[in-house]
Amino acid sequence: MVRDVGISEVGPRDGLQMLKGIMPTEKKKAWISALAASGLPEIEVSSFVPPKLLPQMADAAEIVAFALTLPGLHVAALAPNAKGAARAIEAGAHKITLPLSVSRSHSLANVRKTPDEMVDEVRQSTRLRDASPSRPAIEVGLSTAFGCTIEGTVAESEVVRLAIAAVEAGADEVGLADTTGMANPEQIKRVIAGVRREIGDRLTGVHLHNTFGLGLANALAAYEAGLRAFDSSQAGLGGCPYAPGASGNIVTEDLVYMFESMGVRTGIDLWKLMAGRRILADAFPDEPLYGYVPAAGLPKNFRPAA
């Protein structure tokens, strides 16, 4: 499959963690299968957090094991610390993302550690990676990289400092996360340029939220700034319980449509992708599902990028 950009679907992790109900394990498997069948190259399928804190993710190991059976799928998972990373490595995840919040207040609320303490968790996790025969990729997601609902402005110099620290701690990749949806396109380009000057191609992608309706504009800005990896969530589900007022992720269906209509190849079949929404709608009939493209339908003249 030829792709110009890679889209990582985070709904089964980021989306489900924000819902009050719990999707049954077999329905999760059906949803992940439908997402994979659409051509999504990577899916963040779960989170290795204590079940008592996030019962929606209690079946993480089983979900990873199932996802590994889907041909060609790159299986990603989130771990909040080295203990979670050890579980994710044992389960066989191909990629493990550790959140490293630039905002000290958000970091303490989210993972009960300061940013620099989280750098040590990254270091411990990369040592576990190096000792593992499977050697999964370790990604550091720099949360609140564009603003914090608790602290407000986040210093761009701190984003750069922590990106460097993550790489020095052994991270394979660094992503920039607009956890609160406060970013704007010019800021996106500026921060990407600043981080890239220091860590080069270790900066791989962005994770964007749509709180102020700028999610797709910010995705386009990141693309124009040279990034080619994007997180998104089917139906726009997601958010952060420790970022008051922040809404869900950018909608996968809308992101795919934007790129394909521009002639940028995602390798994703939009018709199959939208069919996966039915599983969500059936599992959570009272949950609002977002997306302009699913609501309007594809225009008659739409043709995927060749």
Give the model's confidence band at 239: pLDDT under 50 very low, under 70 low, under 90 confident, else very high: confident
Q: Is the dihedral of CA 231, 199, 98, 170 positive or negative?
A: positive
pLDDT of 18 > 90? The answer is: no
pLDDT of 241 > 80? The answer is: no
Phi-psi sector, 220: left (phi>0), alpha (psi -120 to 50), beta: alpha
**Among candidate residues 222, 280, 193, 300, the one with its CA nearest the CA of residue 11:** 280
The pairing of beta strand 74-78 with beta strand 203-208 = unpaired
- Three-state DSSP string of the chain: CCCCCEEEECHHHHHHHHCCCCCCHHHHHHHHHHHHHCCCCEEEEEECCCCCCCHHHCCHHHHHHHHCCCCCCEEEEECCCHHHHHHHHHHCCCEEEEEEECCHHHHHHHHCCCHHHHHHHHHHHHHHHHHCCCCCEEEEEEECCCCECCCECCCHHHHHHHHHHHHHCCCCEEEEEECCCCCCHHHHHHHHHHHHHHHHHHEEEEEEECCCCCHHHHHHHHHHCCCCEEEEEHHHCCCCCCCCCCCCECEHHHHHHHHHHHCCCCCCCHHHHHHCHHHHHHHCCCCCCCCHHHHHCCCCCCCCCC
Architecture of the CATH domain 6-296: Alpha-Beta Barrel (3.20)
Give the pLDDT of residue 247.
Answer: 77
pLDDT of 244 > 90? The answer is: no
Distance CA 217, CA 184 (A): 8
pLDDT of 57 > 90? The answer is: yes
166 phi and psi angles, rounded to 5 deg: -65, -45
Over residues 31-43, the pLDDT tens digits come to 999 999 999 999 9
Q: Annotated catalytic sites, by residue? A: 240
Within 13 Å and on the Cβ side, how many CA atoms surround 31? Answer: 29
CA dist 150 → 54, 89, 112, 147, 239 (Å):
22, 33, 15, 9, 15
Question: Which structure tokens are listed for 60?
Answer: 């993480």
What is the share, in percent, of the chain residues with pLDDT greater than 90?
A: 92
pLDDT of 5 > 90? The answer is: yes
pLDDT of 228 > 70? The answer is: yes
Spans of all domains in the chain: 6-296
Give the pLDDT of residue 242.
Answer: 64
Over residues 106-165, the pLDDT tens digits come to 999 989 999 999 999 999 999 999 999 999 999 999 999 999 999 999 999 999 999 999
**Among candidate residues 25, 93, 76, 81, the one with its CA nearest the CA of residue 53:** 81
Q: What is the mean pLDDT of the chain?
A: 96
pLDDT of 97 > 80? The answer is: yes
pLDDT of 240 > 90? The answer is: no
Based on the number of CB atoms within 10 Å of its own CB, is 83 exposed (0-12), middle (13-18) or buried (19 or more)?
A: middle
Hey, how many other C-beta atoms are within 10 angstroms of the C-beta on 112?
11
Give the pLDDT of residue 245.
Answer: 67
